[in-house]
Amino acid sequence: MSYAAGMTQPGESAADFAIPATHQVSNQPPPLDDFDPLDCDPALREALAEHGQSARIEELRPLARQAGSATAREHGRLANEHPPVLHSHDRYGHRIDEVEFHPSWHWLMERAVSEGLHAAPWAPDAPAGAHLHRAAGFYLWSQAEAGHGCPISMTFASVPALRHSPELAEIYEPGLRAGSYDFGLRPAANKRGLLAGMSMTEKQGGSDVRANTTTAEPLADGSYRIVGHKWFTSAPMNDLFLTLAQTPAGLSCLLVPRVLPDGTRNAVRLRRLKDKLGNKSNASAELEYEGAIGWLIGEEGRGVRSIIDMVSMTRMDCVLGSAANMRVALSEAAHHAAHRDAFGSTLHRTPLMRAVLSDLAVESEAAIGLAMRLASAIDRGQRGDRAELDLLRLALPATKYYVCKRAPTVIGEALECLGGNGYVEESGMPRLYREAPLLSIWEGSGNVTALDTLRALHKQPDTAETLLAELDRVAGQDERYDRSLRKLREELGEPREERARALAERLVLTLQTSLLLRTAPKEVAETFLATRLDGDAHTLGATGTRSDVLLDRVTPRKD
């Protein structure tokens, strides 16, 4: 019965009270669901081809399509709408310290692990370019949901650190590399696949881990007994943690399993889960080590040297994660503008919206181009190329600084392209916006990564020469680029702590430009030069630079 019909009196008909329909929907875009993020990302394909991976691009297609599917996007939404829950005790009062996740979290994890995003490049028979291929996959898949990238990335990054102790690597690496997602706390030997985390940060010091007060006392059987409180440890249901603690010889790195080889629970208590701004699908815990048992990784007293190999890999993934978040925000913005009319014109035809979208697009293309360059440096470095390792040592912290720092600004602008709808949860944009600052904080926050760029220069001055040799390859082509390169030489020649951000920013902008000049269509490189190395615009779109080529490249096309 209609509302109007219910109001009729004897002798009156419903038609006398018919209320005009108010809910015809027009001028709203169709959902972006079921798009192909590889298709609308020529910059990614060009970078893969540039670094010798064109033959494997199509292997990424099924993963990309799944990342853009309605199913994956819905799992991403659900995993964040239903955050993990800590259960400290079971119904009988036994201490269990377990975290329960929504089935959608497990769905996302299962897909990521089965694709090898957590470990594939570490396989003994991994082909050349395996890091680059995995980086592209991680970037594409992260566009479905960001939070589960945390345990995937930490597991991936734990392997090179673990290899500082070959006997531990022999026990745990096969499980970490296995392609099965096997959730639950059981001894490593009884599981089809393992996941790893890192436990460094304490209340009194996160960046400055030397301030750690957690202790690890050596025991007669070669293990260590760990006591202390960790203020942040994400993914606490992972099977093992690379933990920093003070031994008699100083700060050391230890492997701490959640379940001991004899099947008993290790004394690792979960005090609380953090109530976070974003990253809702992922659990981040406060941990109490109450005499937990661990085994030394690497040399005693040289814990930073061991764990830094893990940190540099997770930093790479922060860059990829930020690039992914910016890219999916751009896809939403470009898609919306292509379907929405205002003032008699489709938004993406209006000059100013074209300038805004061009600016977002060129930021995204430069970010993924640089991320792929660094991933290829990991591949070459792993195969013994010293110069590539030098480039990575200097450029990775700077890139982590700059690309992650840009993400909140870029995503905020993309969100606004959707107007009011962009501010509403259902659009998915608020989730991206809340996620964005995190990648700039963990694994070295802004100042710390900028200062680490300086540290690389001080400790390994050769790194500057390697970088400049790369940048000189395109010198002389464009006056704006040459000017930026001169400024970078000046900063590199006289590094000062208070200018660490300026140096990191100059380094990244110059490197991004050089890559675009080498690989991107002329108009894309020109847009970057005009918007990033020229003029004095301070907000996105403010240079007024518009690029038809760019908008055509990045606007999603749906089958």
Sites of contact with ligand FAD (CB under 6 A)? 197-201, 205-208, 232-234, 276, 279, 284, 438, 441-442, 445-448, 451
Name the 3-class secondary structure at 535: coil
Among candidates 247, 267, 248, 250, which has minimal Cα distance to 258? Answer: 267
CB 188 within 8 A of CB 240: yes
Closer by beta carbon to ligand FAD, 227 or else 475: 227
H-helix or E-strand spanning residue 326: helix 303-339
Which residue has 């297609």 as its token pair?
A: 61
- Least distance (Å) from ligand FAD to the CB of residue 281? 12
Please say which residue, 209 or 542, places its beta carbon nearer to ligand FAD: 209
- Give residue for tokens 């020529």: 42
Cβ of residue 243: shortest distance to ligand FAD, in angstroms? 9
Distance CA 188, CA 171 (A): 9
Taking the complex as a whole, how short is the minimal distance between the CB of residue 251 and ligand FAD, in angstroms? 13
Smallest distance, Å, CB 451 to ligand FAD?
A: 6
Shortest distance, position 437 Cβ to ligand FAD, whole Å = 9
Task: Determine contact, residues 284/83, Cβ cutoff 8 Å.
Answer: no
Judged by beta carbon, residue 120 or residue 198, the one nearer ligand FAD is 198
Half-sphere exposure of 349 (CA within 13 A, CB side): 8
171: buried, middle or exposed (CB in 10 Å: 19+, 13-18, 0-12)? middle
For the bound state, the minimum distance from the C-beta of residue 231 to ligand FAD, rounded and expressed in Å, comes to 7
What is the number of other CB atoms lying within 10 angstroms of the CB of residue 535?
A: 13
Closest CB 206 distance from ligand FAD, rounded Å: 2
- If the CB atoms of residues 136 and 438 are measured against ligand FAD, the closer one turns out to be 438
Residue with the shortest CB distance to ligand FAD: 206
Contact 320, 138 (CB under 8 A): yes
Nearer to ligand FAD, 197 or 369 (CB): 197
The minimum distance between CB 521 and ligand FAD, in angstroms, equals 37
Closer to ligand FAD by Cβ: residue 314 or 547: 314
Please say which residue, 208 or 479, places its beta carbon nearer to ligand FAD: 208
Neighbours of 88 (CB within 10 A): 13
Strand, helix or coil for residue 139: helix
Helix (H, G, I), strand (E, B) or coil at 294: strand
Which residues have a Cβ under 8 Å from the Cβ of 310 and sit 6 or more positions away? Answer: 154, 157, 158, 160, 161, 198, 242
> Closer CB to ligand FAD, residue 48 or residue 109?
109
